[in-house]
Structure 1
Amino acid sequence: MKRLLCLVAAALSLAACSKDELASVKTYTYAGGIHQEGQIQYAEHPPVGGPHNPRWQQCGLYDKPLYDQYAVHSMEHGAVWVTYLPTLPAADLTALKAVLEGRSYVILSPYPGQASAVMASAWNAQLALETASNPRLKAFLAKYEEGASAPERGAACDGPYSTTATQ
């Protein structure tokens, strides 16, 4: 019944159900602005904030894993990092790309060993999803892409680092 009400509300262009869609988002309290060279160990995988490299990952769609410390810096700028298990079926990966295509502040990459098939991470927020077509991904993007939780919201997301962890 609740899902039906959300669908009706969506059809009427109401945002009343977005809070319910994001009820399973885990939140954290990392401070921004801590730059550090080299490899950095993070408590969450993929990470959701903390120290990061002074250079940020260029936003875009990647088919190889990324270095955490560059992607975290992009999240500080307001990017959402969507990661997926490398075993994700091709149809699901195509669906993810369709949702993310044309967005300026998103990164997509595989992330071996993560806890769920798909994860959406932003500065101090993370959503685990079992399918690529879950509508909660769009709600997460609406709230967190260039969202208020990013310490340097609106800073560049184009370059300077576009290399993947495995070339």
Structure 2
Amino acid sequence: MPSSTSATSAKAVRAAGKSSPSRKKGKGNIPGKKRETPWALIGAGVAIIALIGLLAYSLVPKYLDQAAMREAQTDLKEWVPTKENPDPSTKIEGVVKTEYPAGMHVQSTQRVAYDKAPAFGGPHDSAWANCTGTVYAKPIRQENAVHSLEHGAIWITYNPDKVNADGVSTLSKFVQGREQSLMSPYPGLDSPVSVQSWGHQLKVNSVDDPRIKQFISALRANPYGAYPEVGASCSNPGFDAANPPPFDSSPYGPDAVKMDGTGAKNDAPAELGGAGGLGGALPPGVQSIPMPTGAAPAGQ
């Protein structure tokens, strides 16, 4: 029979076992280590994902733009002039074509009684409106714009009462950064938009009309006889784009120059084209400008 002393010792051992802290053991009864978070690996993963996102943000729009450009070029292929098809605009519905004699100049104080509105041919000022992708905020004098058409430019006009700011922005994309191009409001225009080249005109009701692109492709700087002065400059630094000669919408008076040139003053200055790359008319009283030694006359 166990003694009371032995029973007391056994109880003490059991109590000590219960009160002693338990230990977590790992594999093979080795105490487990605290698991560390792999921050370096996570950081590298986040950086890679961010890089992929950045590349996608940068490259996808460019890819889409290039795809759109390729599609546009394919869509406009039949509207690109060639020797076999010198004037593709003949296939564009709504284009009006009229033959006009070239090279008839008027003075800056004279008006021409144009037979079309906006005008797209006939007598014009000896100074052309700058047409190096110029978007004019103000209406410009027709006599200057028509001279730009003689140089192969496309002139986009719009009725400011019928085309809102978004529409103006859409149209300006056809012009900005493009040689042989200009654009201006035309108060009282009988359609929202009208596009002109020398001897050609197209009027449309929407800035999104696909014929605008077709017209531009067919006739802007078309080298196959679509305009009189092939190779002429569109740059005219002397023409103030911020404050151009004003548009005159009043009725033509009896002294207006006729479409055949009748009424043009004989002292109208000749065009200054090709000398040193300058544009515009000769200053009053200057009959000619000396050509640099060895330079070919303008037009050759």
TM-score for both structures, normalised by structure 1: 0.86
2:33 equivalent in structure 1: none
The answer as to whether partners of 1:66 and 1:165 remain within 8 angstroms in 2 is yes
Partners of 2:215 and 2:130 in 1: CA distance: 20
1:75 equivalent in structure 2: 149
The answer as to whether partners of 1:21 and 1:139 remain within 8 angstroms in 2 is no
One-letter amino acid of the counterpart of residue 155, structure 1 = A
Higher relative contact order (CA 8 A, sep 6+): 1
Alignment of 1:1-167 (within 5 A): 13=74, 15-16=77-78, 22-37=92-107, 38-59=110-131, 60-87=134-161, 88-147=163-222, 148-159=225-236, 160-162=238-240, 163-165=244-246
Out of 124-133 and 11-20, give the one that drifted further: 11-20
Partners of 1:140 and 1:12 in 2: CA distance: 14
**Which secondary structure does the structure 1 equivalent of 2:216 belong to?**
helix
**Which secondary structure does the structure 2 equivalent of 1:142 belong to?**
helix
Partners of 2:78 and 2:197 in 1: CA distance: 22
Contiguous gaps of at least 5 residues in structure 2: 1-70, 80-87, 248-300
CA drift of 1:86 comes to 1.1
The answer as to whether partners of 1:84 and 1:110 remain within 8 angstroms in 2 is yes
Aligned pairs, number: 157
**Deviating runs (4+, > 6 A) in structure 1?**
none
Contiguous gaps of at least 5 residues in structure 1: 1-9
The answer as to whether partners of 1:85 and 1:110 remain within 8 angstroms in 2 is yes
CA drift of 1:11 comes to 7.4
The answer as to whether partners of 1:82 and 1:118 remain within 8 angstroms in 2 is yes
CA drift of 1:20 comes to 8.1
Structure 1 vs Structure 2: percent identity of aligned residues? 32
**Which secondary structure does the structure 2 equivalent of 1:13 belong to?**
helix
User: Which structure has the highest strand share of the two?
Assistant: 1
**Which secondary structure does the structure 2 equivalent of 1:114 belong to?**
coil
One-letter amino acid of the counterpart of residue 154, structure 2 = V
The answer as to whether partners of 1:33 and 1:51 remain within 8 angstroms in 2 is yes
TM-score for both structures, normalised by structure 2: 0.49
Larger Rg: 2
Partners of 2:73 and 2:119 in 1: CA distance: 36
The answer as to whether partners of 1:64 and 1:164 remain within 8 angstroms in 2 is no
Q: Give the RMSD, CA atoms, in angstroms.
A: 2.1
